[in-house]
Amino acid sequence: MAVVILTLLIIEMVGFPLGWGNDSIGVDLPKVNCPVKMRCANREDALIVAIFRDGSVYFDNDRVNARDLPARLRERISHGAETKVYLKADARARYSNVVPVLNGVRAAGVVSIGILVDERRTHPAAQ
Residues of the chain with pLDDT under 50: 2-24
Measure the CA–CA gap between 2 and 91, rounded to whole angstroms: 18
> pLDDT (tens digit, 9 = 90+) per residue, 81-116?
889 999 999 999 999 999 999 999 999 999 899 999
The CATH number given to 2-119 is: 3.30.420.270
Verdict on whether the full-model pTM lies above 0.85: no
Give the dihedral of Cα atoms 38, 40, 42, 43; nearest 10 deg.
180
> Domain-by-domain residue ranges, the chain?
2-119
Measure the CA–CA gap between 15 and 53, rounded to whole angstroms: 19
Instruction: Compute φ and ψ for 58, nearest 5 degrees.
Output: -125, 140
Per-residue HEC secondary structure of 72-86 comes to: HHHHHHHCCCCCEEE
pLDDT of res. 45: 87
Q: What is the DSSP letter of 43?
A: S
Instruction: Compute φ and ψ for 85, nearest 5 degrees.
Output: -105, 135
pLDDT of res. 127: 55
pLDDT of res. 21: 40
Instruction: Compute φ and ψ for 109, nearest 5 degrees.
Output: 90, 10
pLDDT of res. 82: 85
